[in-house]
Amino acid sequence: MSRTSKSKSHGKLSRREFARGVTVAAITGVVPLGQAAENAGMQQSAAQPAQLSPEFEAQFQAIIRRYGARLSEEQRADIRRLLDQSQKTSDALRAFQLENSDEPATIFHPYRPDKSVPRR
């Protein structure tokens, strides 16, 4: 029996499975780290819970439904803080105006191996 199925059969959740679930739920863009303004926002969010948009509130509720019994209040606040950061990043990305004629910064070129060279 594998480790994953063993942990699920006993009703326990591994740290790796929890981290994977939270990451999948919380990722909506790249979150910039190390900014002084962000640190000030973290201190403010510790004092009062962040107001999340309906999209991110639904993500938070899904995490709480799935892992709520295992989470402390500190962990719940940390998840809410991470979702708040993701929401701010998403809002900034959505605010950037693009036109249909705008070209991508990089162009995708798929790798196609030379067919004359036999593959091993």
Burial class (CB in 10 A: 0-12, 13-18, 19+), 31: middle
Note the pLDDT tens digit of each residue in 71-108.
999 999 999 999 999 999 999 988 988 888 888 888 88
Residue appearing with tokens 């991470």: 82
Note the pLDDT tens digit of each residue in 1-49.
444 444 444 567 777 777 777 777 666 444 444 444 455 555 554 555 5
Predicted confidence (pLDDT) at residue 110 exceeds the cutoff of 80: yes
Distance separating alpha carbons of residues 95 and 93, to the nearest angstrom: 5
Q: What is the pLDDT of residue 65?
A: 93
Note the pLDDT tens digit of each residue in 58-68.
999 999 999 98
Is the pTM value of this prediction over 0.75? no
User: DSSP of 62-103, one letter per residue?
Assistant: HHHHHHGGG--HHHHHHHHHHHHHHHHHHHHHHHS---TTPP
Q: What is the pLDDT of residue 29?
A: 44
